[in-house]
Amino acid sequence: MKRQNWSRAPNRRVSNRRQRRQQHLLDVKVRSRTATQHRNRRVLVFVSQLALVIGLCVAVYFGVREGARRFFFENPDYQLSTIEVQTDGTLQREQILKVADLREGENIFNVNLGRVHDRLQQLPQVDEVQVERKLPTEIDIHVVERKPVAWITDEKQIADPFASDAAFLVDGRGVLMKEKKLLPEYLGLPLVSGCASESLEAGKVVESFEAKAALELLRLSTRSFMQTRFQIREIDVSNGYCLLVTDKNHVRVTFGFDNLDAQLQRLEQFLIYSDDSKRDLATVNLLVQRNIPVTFAKSPVSIINDTIEPDAEPRILKAIPVHPPARSTSSSAAKPHASPSPMSIKRAIPVEKEKKD
């Protein structure tokens, strides 16, 4: 009898569809439970690590804070004792410290340098500010003030800008200032008058086209030749269409708002011509590009001659002869001869006339 071969043939199914489905479900459940356990373990590890990091950060923060408070903010070695203030203008030390809210005796680390800088920068007359902390006990403040280039007012005529409340100082950028302490050199600054359309207030910047053109003309006129030959004393912008400029020699020049540099070049040619011809300019109208109207002032000799009216005929004064009175024999022996008095001379004049008659 032959032995039967019970070995399974290759690729032969050992279970039906239902058995295979049950095995698949069991496998999925086991894998899902294992994955959940791994995920929970990873979340727990992450949370524990995060809590540890947060705890360390909080501990470091409070430790650093406490150490800074003890070693710096409450350390008497860092007590502010010196405040060095340097300025190149009229601002006083007391005024700067009051605006900056600085005082000696406080801790140097409690001073907010950025806040001090912003407070000082808000002053109208301040251009640049530098605040430096020098450990352990010093703070340096260096202030660069704005340099006024002119007076400006909304009035058409003003006698004394020093004494007028309507006059403000203005720098080259157009920032308006009202100085508490006026320096003598401010008296010689030119005056920009007639800015009726401008709202003048300390700390503001001029916005009108006329005022900006006047400041630009002042900037351009500071060249080498023009600075010595044409020094502006007043700029009247009240006309609204031109700049009426008067210099130190009372020459009146009319400028337009556009191409100020080209107009100054034309004016420079007229000034050179007047110097060469030894004649003084009176008025120049630079609004016209060709055939510029120019008038010349009278010479001092002609002005003096016009004011003198010589007489038609010179008057000749004739001298009147004076004769001494007659001598008497009796009086001449007793008294010496004396010169006649003025009264006797006056009385002798008609006597001589009678003798001639």
What CA–CA distances, in Å, run from 336 to 207, 212, 302, 327?
98, 94, 62, 11
- Give yes or no for residue 163 having a pLDDT over 90: no
352 in a structural domain: no
Alpha-carbon distance of 179 to 200, in angstroms, equals 14
Residue 253, classified by CB atoms within 10 Å of its CB into exposed (0-12), middle (13-18) or buried (19+), is buried
Which of 266, 283, 302 is where one domain is finished?
A: 302
Q: Please tell me the total count of domains within the chain.
A: 3
Q: Does residue 213 surpass a pLDDT of 90?
A: yes
CB atoms within 10 A of CB 287: 14
342 part of a folded domain:
no
CB 127 within 8 A of CB 174: no
The pLDDT of residue 349: 41
- Is the domain of 127 the same as that of 154? no
Q: Parallel, antiparallel, or unpaired for β 167-171 and 82-87?
A: unpaired
- Residue 190 located in a structural domain: yes
**Confidence at residue 197, expressed as pLDDT on a 0 to 100 scale:** 81
What's the first-to-final CA gap in the chain, in angstroms?
Answer: 219
pLDDT at res. 156: 86
pTM: 0.64
pLDDT of residue 34: 79
- Beta strands at 167-171 and 148-153: parallel, antiparallel or unpaired: antiparallel
- 225 and 86 belong to one structural domain: no
Which pLDDT score is estimated for 356?
43
Residue 305 is inside which H or E element, if any? helix 300-307
Domain span holding position 133: 78-145
Instruction: Please compute, for residue 260, the number of CA atoms within 13 A of its CA located in the half-sphere on the CB side.
Output: 17
Q: How many Cβ atoms sit within 10 Å of the Cβ of residue 67? A: 10
Q: Is the same domain home to 31 and 134?
A: no
